[in-house]
Structure 1
Amino acid sequence: MAGIQERYRSLIEAGELREDAEQAEAVAKLQRLQTELENGRRPGFFKRLLGHNEDAPCGIYMWGGVGRGKSMLMDLFHQTLAVEGKRRAHFHEFMLEVHAHLRDARKDESGDPIPVVATRIAQDLRCLAFDEMVVNNSADAMIMGRLFRALIEDQNVAIVTTSNRPPDDLYKDGLNREHFLPFIALVKDRLEVMPLNGPVDYRLERLAGIETWHTPLGDDATAQVTEAFYRLTDYDPADRDHVPSADLDVGGGRTIHVPRSLKGVAVFSFKRLCGEARGAADYLAIARAYHSVIVVGIPVMTREDRNEAARFVTLIDALYEHRVKLFATADAEPEDLYASGDGSFEFERTVSRLKEMQSASYMALGHGTD
Structure 2
Amino acid sequence: MAALPPKPAPTRSPWRRLFARPAQHQSAAGAVIRDYFRHRAQDLGYTLSHSQLRVIDCMAQQAEGLAHSPGKAQSLYLYGAVGRGKSWLLDGFFRALPLAEKQRLHFHDFFTQLHQGMFRHQQQDDALETTLDELLNQCRVLCFDEFHVHDIGDAMLITRLFKALFKRGITLLVTSNYAPEGLLPNPLYHARFKPVIELIKQRMQVMEVGGPHDYRSQARTHEQQVFTQGCYVWPGTPAQRQALELPERHAPAQPLSVGARQLTVRQIQQRSIRFEFNDLCEQPTAVMDYLELSRRFDTWIIDELPELGECSIAAQQRFINLIDVLYDQDKRLLLIGQRPLAESLGGHAIDLARTRSRLGQLRKIGPEHALG
TM-score (norm 2): 0.59
Q: Does 1:21 align with 2:54?
A: no
CA offset at residue 195 of structure 1?
0.4
1:11 is matched with: 40
CA distance in structure 2 between the aligned counterparts of 1:281 and 1:148, rounded to whole angstroms: 28
**For 2:173, what is the secondary structure of its paired residue?**
strand
Task: Give runs of aligned pairs for residues 263-342 of structure 1, distance below 5 A.
Answer: 269=302, 271=304, 279-282=311-314, 285=317, 296-299=335-338, 316-318=346-348, 325=356
Matched, 1:169 2:176: no
Q: Pick one of 208, 228, 233 that aligns with 1:214.
A: 233
Are the structure 2 counterparts of residues 204 and 221 from structure 1 closer, same or farther at C-alpha, using a change threshold of 3 Å? Answer: farther
Matched residue, 1:114? 128
CA RMSD in angstroms comes to 4.6
Q: Which has the higher contact order (CA 8 A, sep 6+)?
A: 2
Q: Is the contact between residue 34 and residue 60 of structure 2 (CA under 8 Å) also seen in structure 1? A: yes
CA distance in 2 between counterparts of 1:182 and 1:241 reads: 44
Point out where structure 1 has 5 or more consecutive residues left out of the alignment: 45-57, 223-239, 243-249, 301-311, 335-370
| Corresponding residue of 2:330 | none
Q: 1:174 to 1:320 in 2, by over 3 A?
A: closer
Q: Is the 8 A contact 2:150 2:185 kept in 1?
A: no
Change (3 A) 1:145 1:257: closer
Within the candidate set 93, 97, 103, 2:119 is matched to 103
Q: CA deviation at 1:6?
A: 1.4
The AA in structure 2 aligned to 1:297 is I
> Match of 1:194, as an amino acid?
M
Question: What is the alpha-carbon distance in structure 1 between the residues aligned to residue 89 and residue 137 of structure 2?
Answer: 26
| Match for residue 109 of structure 2 among 93, 98, 113 | 93
* In structure 2, C-alpha distance between the alignment counterparts of 1:148 and 1:290, rounded to whole Å: 25
1:285 to partner: Cα distance: 4.3
Post-superposition CA distance 1:248-306 (Å, at most 9, x none): xx9xxx955467689xxxx994547679xx74433664698799998833248xxxxxx
* Alpha-carbon offset, residue 219 of structure 1: 8.5
- The number of residues matched between the two structures is 275
Corresponding position of 2:62: 33
Q: 1:288 to 1:165 in 2, by over 3 A?
A: farther
Structure 1 residues 332 and 199: CA distance shift in structure 2, 3 A? closer
Structure 2, unpaired ranges of 5+: 1-28, 223-227, 246-270, 274-280, 295-299, 328-332
Percentage of pairs with the same residue: 23
Alpha-carbon distance in structure 1 between the residues aligned to 2:367 and 2:347:
18
Who is 1:54 aligned against?
none
Q: Which whole-Å CA distance do the structure 2 matches of 1:90 and 1:283 have between them?
A: 22
Matched-pair contact (CA < 8 Å) for 1:299–1:332? no
Task: Name the SS for the 1:180 alignment partner.
Answer: helix
Deviation at residue 128 of structure 1 after TM alignment: 0.5
